[in-house]
Amino acid sequence: MQIPVGDYLAVSAALFITGAVGFLLRRNPITMLMAIELMWNAGNIAFAAFARSFVDMSGQIFVFIVITVAAAEAAIALAIVVMVFRRRPHVDVDDISIMRG
Amino acid sequence: MLINAVIFAPLLTAVLLLFVPRTASAALKGIALAGALITFVLSLTFLGSSQNGAADQSVAWISGTWLASYHVRIDSLRLFFVLLTTLVSVACIWAAFSYADEARLRGYLFLLLAFETTLLGLFTAADLLLFYVYWDLMLIPVFLLLVGYAHSAAARRAAWYYLIYNGAGGLVLLLGVIALVAHTHSFEVLASGAPQLSGAMEWWIFLSFALAFLIKTPAFPFHSWMPPTYTHAPTPVVAMVAGVQSKAGLFALLAFGLPLFPHATRALAPILLVLAVCSIIYGALAALGQRDMKTLVAFSSLSHLGLVWLALFAFDITSVSASILMLVSHGLIAAALFLLMGFVEERVGTRDLAVFGGLALRAPRLQALMLIAAMGALGLPGLSGFAGEFLILIGSWQTQPLYTAIALLAVVLATVYVLQLFQGILHRPLRADAQAQLELRPREIWLVAPLLAAIFFLGLWPGWLNDRTPMAISNAGTTALQATPR
Amino acid sequence: MSGTLTTVPFTILFLPLFGTIVIAFVCPRFHRVAAAIIANLAIFGSFLLTVILALTVWRLPPAAQAFTVKYPPAWAAHPQFWAHIPPLTISFELRIDPLALVWMLIVTGVGFLIHLYSIGYMAESKNYRTFFAYMNLFVFTMLVLVMAGNFLWLLVGWGGVGLASYLLIGFDTDRPAAVAAARKALILNVIGDVGIMLALFLMYAHFGSLSYKEVFANVTSAGPAALNWIGIWLLLGAVAKSAQLPLQTWLPDAMEGPTPVSALIHAATMVTAGVYLIARAHPIYDHAPLAAQTVAIVGCATALFAATIGCVQYDIKRVLAYSTMSQIGYMVLAVGVGAYAAGTFHFVTHAFFKALLFMAAGIVIHNLSGEQDTRKMGGLAKRMPLAFSTFLAGTLAITGIFPFAGFFSKDAILDQLLRLHHPALWFFATLTALLTAFYMFRLVFLTFFSGAYRGEHEPHAARSGTMALPAVLLAVLSLVGGWLVLPGHDAVTSALASTFADRSTLESMADFNWPLSLGTLALAVVGFLAAYALYERAPQMRERLRTTLRPVRALLMNAYYFDTIYHWLFEVPAYTVASDFARYVDPEGIAGVTTGLARTTVHLGDTMRGWETGYLRRYGLSMLVGVVLILAYYLYVAHQGAALGAR
């Protein structure tokens, strides 16, 4: 049985929306990072699904690249978050707005 | 190889300075001056063999769709700009010895030497890309010197003014360069004569070049960056900017503008002639109204360099040839004047002509040196300023009598404002609270003396220089002189 | 050409420059008198060599008397000296001919006497060395002017004497009046330089050369209109240098300089350069009748104009300055009508007696510790017999009393005016002669007679041999100098003949018009009597005259308000415009445009900055919205494309 590509896309869209909403509404940086991971992976699902559907391996290769970049991003972001945690007890991203223009 | 030695000797000296401890100021000064002197001596060797392309070196740099090469050249057109740079730099680096803040002396000398290299690079570049790189690179040392080493809010403001205005000019030039190279597919534009551009295209590209040159020189009405820069920059910096860097635009016009766009120069000449005459008269009148001595000389520069614009766009063989003489002469005079005024400012602590005066009583040597520089600026027959002016005007009279007659008015105005400067500093009774030490120190006399000697020499024998710059005529002059506006 | 004729002019020219250099660089190590000695030796050497050269040249046949020397001879093949931009070539060449020789003789000869005089006069000056360096520099530049072989080097000399004059007028750099006078002199002289430059541009356009030889040889190739313009522009140079109308205002102020300077530069030599220029350019004026006529009218007007002012002034040096102006007016008038020999002759005699007058006045001023106002003098004839007798000799010469020099030279000009059919000019020139006699004798009476001494300080009779000797010598020359031209014998015209060989006629002055001479002499006596009556016999008449002629007197006292008019006509508008440019137009207008652009950019940035709140949510939302918009746009375009493709 083959699951139609539209189903994969529906899951992907649902994941992405969850991630986007989570990113926009939460103020805890860790949670926001997790939300971003959700969005990455929503993209990954879509890539993989299309790769399968079009029988084109480049989509799957892209998934690997995204995973790598996501890992790197998470590492840097977590480092920043840790640094911020060291400086102040509670972390609310709205409080860290000193870099505005 | 020698040509690269000349270009990079100052930069190498600058790098060498970084290995000397900050506190060893005597060593720093010695090395910097030695570097500048060596550069000058090296550049002098080109005098002997300046027949036709005395030095020419070309190394392929970028290949592909758009060709670029590291192409440097010293020929009869470029030789005197190189000599002017190296000579003025020696004086300026020597003058920098009196920079007060010992801890920052190293950076100061470093930037001055780096500035010299960018200037030399500009005057020797035969490849358009190389030329453009130096064109913008020049801004950085001057900007840093203004921001970091002048210690006044006005100087910092002038720095931004300078950087942004000239940076904008650089962008306009970049646009023109890209448009030109999109057509020629090579930055070696000088190699194959004037490119075959369509009339409108040539016109637009030349316009962008001309705008950049007008800003850099500067000419009316693009001169707004100049008065604050010339007024607030540290003495050696302003002497180099006014003496050497202000020649970049007109040099570029001679080296690139006229040969590349013979028809467009003709077509745009009416507008540029009007701008030239406006520069001449406006500069003279604005100088007349100044109380600040450095601003006064800044505006006099505007007026004198306007004369060169007139010379180039009068398209007379005499005036075009004499423009090199005028540029070199103005470089010497402006550098000498700014250096001397810097010494005066150090002693008196003000630039206001209405406030001080009477220095002649206590500083006869200052008066003597100032007299030569001032009379050069005034156009006294027998000094280089006159030779340049006279030969330009006698040439431009043949094609543009009206504009020449208007320009002559500026000769009279020059007398008025130069005397205002000269007498304002030196004559009238001495103020009671004047410092004891007003006379120039031997170092200050000796560093200005070569410039003044050159002013005398070129005034008494301008033919010496004219004879060594015939290429300027064949290269830049004739293409534009024989072209028709299109 | 013999070696003498090439090397001697070169030596004559450069000895004074050598003097300047030695004084400037070597003398500070020695006693200050060393400077005076070197300066005097340099000029004296120059003078001796000039005499030798003159004797040599005048012995040559007329055709060989005028020659050009290119310098340095070894470089004669180098065309690039001075300038060489084909087709323009300007070389460094000297032109030696009788006209130049006359000027050289006076410049070095009278110049030497004045140098000698300066030793005593400047003894108390702090800048003794500088003074002599400047004086030598002046002689050098003046020699460049008269020896030049082309118009360019003439202009170099022309500018050089302007500089030397500037430096010497403003010699007391801390006295504001002197500084202002120097500035004025230089500015007006530069206006003259510009006139000459214009003439040179025209010459180059029409003749392709600036060399005397080539310009004068081809003078007919240019039309009369061009020649008239060249003549007019040269005249502008001449009037500026020679203080003729309308650029005369600097000369009276120039009297702020030390008296030897006034004697040398502003009486004997430099101010006559205009006369030299016109005589030198005579081939042009001979073919430019309109320009020549203008020259004559300017000269005549100035002669009369300055003489009227001289009648009311009180400053002894100012009166002499106005009389210089007036006498140069005579010379300009003479060369304007083509009486070149007469003009040159008057230049020679004038150099003698005017230098003498200044020297005598200088002795008076020196002994009165700098007092120049004749109202504070009087009765000095007995106290200063030397000054009085020499001053009187000068006065007799300038007023044209037989047998003093002025009698011969001034009458020569008046006589030529009639011979060349200029009755109107002759009338005014004769009137000027009457006024000259009046104001000069008025000066004599005011200074040396008219009752007792009126000054506050007792005059000290400082005697200086170096001051007395030149004065006495010049007094003798003022007497015998005129005898160069005697009835039936005209040394001047015959000496100058080879310079003016291209003219068909150079009227000889040997043929005296005795009734005219005696008539002019009678007029001089009338002038003397008028001065005697008003200033010695009947002071009350003077008072009455003064009240009735009050407006005229005010006009004359203020020199016809020229200074005021120029002040309001040129100075005020120029400075108003200039300071407006400097204060408003440039910083606010032109820089305003650029700073305005910058300000707009900053403002725009400020507005945009409001979007950057620093809240991460906000950025996230913008990204999301952006992505959605871009996607929507592409989907829409794709949809359109599909629709188009389907159709």
Please check whether residue C312 touches B, CB under 8 A. Answer: no
Q: What b-and-e string marks burial along B414-447, b requiring 16 or more CB atoms within 10 Å of the CB?
A: bbbbbbbbbbbbbbbebeeebeeebebeeebbeb
Distance CA C418, CA C513 (A): 10
C-alpha–C-alpha distance, residues B382 and B376, integer Å: 9
Question: Does residue A32 sit at the C interface (CB-CB below 8 Å)?
Answer: yes
Residue B257 confidence (pLDDT) = 87
Residue C16 · residue C42 · CB < 8 Å: yes
- Measure CB to CB from residue C174 to each of B289, B397, B429 and give the nearest one: B429
| pLDDT reported for residue B54 | 67
B318 contacts C190? CB cut-off 8 A: no
Q: Inform me whether the pLDDT recorded for A75 exceeds 70.
A: yes
Measured between alpha carbons, how far is C299 from C343 in angstroms, rounded to an integer? 11
Enumerate the β-bridge partners of residue C148: C94
Domain A5-94 fold: Helix Hairpins (1.10.287)
* Rg over CA atoms, chain A: 17
8 Å CB contact between B183 and B197: yes
Alpha-carbon distance of B447 to B441, in angstroms, equals 10
pLDDT at C80: 59
Find the mean pLDDT for residues B407-421: 91
| C612 three-class SS | coil
Tokens of A100: 């505005």
Cβ of residue C179 closer than 8 Å to a chain B Cβ: yes
Predicted confidence (pLDDT) at residue C31 exceeds the cutoff of 80: no
Percent of chain A with pLDDT over 90: 50
Higher local confidence (pLDDT), C646 or C240: C240
Query: What is the Cα–Cα distance from C13 to B207, expressed in whole angstroms?
Result: 52
> With pLDDT > 90 as the criterion, what percentage of chain C qualifies?
29
Are the C-beta atoms of residues C255 and C171 closer than 8 Å to each other?
Answer: no
Dist CA C162 CA C50 (whole Å): 23
Least confident interval from A39-48, B187-196, B411-420, C353-362: B187-196
- Chain C interface, best mutation among B394, B411, B481, by max C CB count within 10 A: B394
Residue whose C-alpha is closest to residue B259's, from B206, B213, B217: B206
- B28-33: long-range pairs with CB below 8 Å, 24+: B28/B105, B28/B106, B28/B109, B29/B97, B29/B105, B29/B109, B32/B93, B32/B96, B32/B109, B32/B112, B32/B113, B33/B90, B33/B93, B33/B94, B33/B97
Contacts of B434 (CB under 8 A, 6+ apart): B348, B356, B358, B359, B362
pLDDT at residue B117 in the model? 95
For residue A33, the one-letter residue type is L
pLDDT digits (tens, 9 = 90+) for C293-302: 999 999 999 9
Contact C578 B364 (CB under 8 A): no
Nearest-by-Cβ selection for C159 from B322, B380, B463: B380
Q: Stretch A23-52: mean pLDDT, rounded? A: 90
Give yes or no for C130 touching B (CB within 8 A): yes
B68 strand-pairing partners: B62
CA C389 to chain B, closest CA, distance in angstroms equals 38
The DSSP letter of residue B441 is P
Does residue C402 sit in helix, strand or coil?
Answer: coil
Backbone angles phi, psi at C148, to 5 degrees: -55, 145
How far, rounded to the nearest angstrom, does the alpha carbon of residue C318 sit from its chain's CA centroid? 16
Nearest one of B74, B76, B6 to B37, comparing CA atoms: B6
Q: Are C269 and C306 in contact (CB under 8 A)?
A: no
**pLDDT surpasses 90 at B172:** yes
Measure the CA–CA gap between C168 and C564, rounded to whole angstroms.
25
Comparing C31 with B306, which gets the higher pLDDT?
A: B306
pLDDT of residue B308: 93
Strand partners, C83: C90
CA dist C452 and C380 (Å) reads: 8
Interface residue C512 vs chain B (CB under 8 A): no
Task: Indicate the residue of A20, A93, A98 with minimum beta-carbon distance to C616.
Answer: A93
Element (H, E) at C94: strand C93-96
Query: In the structure, what pLDDT confidence band is assigned to residue C72 with cuts at 50, 70 and 90?
Result: low
CA dihedral B288, B294, B297, B298 (to 10 degrees): -100
Determine whether the interchain pair A99/C614 forms a contact, defined as Cβ–Cβ distance below 8 Å. yes
CA dihedral B307→B308→B313→B315, nearest 10 degrees, is 110
Candidates C612, C615, C620; nearest CB to A94? C615
In C, residues 600-619, which contact A (CB 8 Å cutoff)?
608-609, 612-617
| B and A touch per CB criterion (3+ pairs under 8 A) | no
Q: What is the pLDDT of residue B118?
A: 95
The per-residue pLDDT of chain C, averaged, comes to 86
Give the C-alpha separation, C417 to C412, whole Å.
Answer: 9
Closest chain B residue to the Cα of C204, Cα to Cα: B394
Q: What does the pLDDT average to over C495-522? A: 79
Q: Which chains touch A (3 or more CB pairs under 8 A)?
A: C
Q: Is the pLDDT of residue B486 over 80?
A: no
Q: Per residue in C331-343, pLDDT tens?
A: 999 999 988 888 9
Phi, psi of B431 (to 5 degrees): -70, 150
How many CB atoms sit inside 10 A of residue C487's CB? 12
Is the predicted pLDDT of residue C647 greater than 50, yes or no? no
Residues of C in contact with B285 (CB under 8 A): 574, 577-578, 581
Would you call C37 helix, strand, or coil by DSSP? helix
Whether the per-residue pLDDT at A101 is higher than 60: the answer is no
Q: Which residue would you say has higher pLDDT here, A94 or C385?
A: C385
Report the sign of the C-alpha dihedral through residues C605, C610, C614, C618, in that order.
negative
- Element containing residue C96 per DSSP (H, E): strand C93-96
Q: Lowest mean pLDDT of B173-182, C308-317, C612-621, name the range.
A: C612-621
For chains B and C, count residue pairs whose Cβ atoms are closer than 8 Å: 164
**Residue listed under structure tokens 């949510």:** C617
C209-239 exposure pattern, b = at least 16 Cβ within 10 A, e = fewer = bbbbeebbeebeebeeebbbbbbbbbbbbbb
Whole-angstrom Cα distance, residue C122 to residue A9? 109
A24 in reach of chain C (CB within 8 A): yes
Mean pLDDT of B387-404: 91
Between C82, C193, C578, which is nearest B286 by CB? Answer: C578
From chain C, pick out residues whose CB is under 8 angstroms from the CB of A24: 617, 620-621, 624
Is there a contact between A94 and C620 if contact means CB atoms under 8 Å apart? no
Per-residue pLDDT reduced to its tens digit, B17-32: 999 988 888 899 999 9
Q: How confident is the model at residue B482 (pLDDT cuts 50, 70, 90)?
A: low
| pLDDT, position C459 | 75
Q: How far is CA B197 from CA B126, B257, B264, C555, C587, in A?
A: 20, 14, 10, 70, 40
Cβ-defined contact of C614 to A98 (cutoff 8 Å): yes
Average pLDDT over residues C189-216: 90
Contact (CB<8Å) C179/B386: no
Interval B43-82: pLDDT, tens:
988 887 655 556 788 888 888 788 888 988 888 888 899 9
ipTM score for this prediction: 0.91
Round the CA-based radius of gyration of chain B to a whole number and report it: 21
- Give residue C641's pLDDT band: very low, low, confident or very high (50, 70, 90): low
Beta bridge pairs of residue C96: C67
Among residues B155, B29, B5, B12, the alpha carbon closest in space to that of B447 is found at: B29
- For C341-380, the pLDDT digits (tens) are 889 999 999 999 999 999 999 888 888 887 888 888 877 8
Would you say residue C23 has pLDDT above 90?
Answer: no
pLDDT digits (tens, 9 = 90+) for C123-158: 888 888 889 989 999 999 999 999 998 899 999 999
- pLDDT given for residue B173 in this prediction: 94
Q: Check residue B473 and give its pLDDT.
A: 52
Q: What band does B214 get if pLDDT is binned at 50, 70 and 90?
A: very high
Overall average pLDDT of the B211-218 stretch: 92
User: Is the model's pLDDT at C170 over the cut of 60?
Assistant: yes
**Residue C615 distance to chain A (closest CA, Å):** 5
Work out the angle at residue C269's Cα, subtended by the Cα atoms of residues C267 and C275, and round it to the nearest 5 degrees: 100
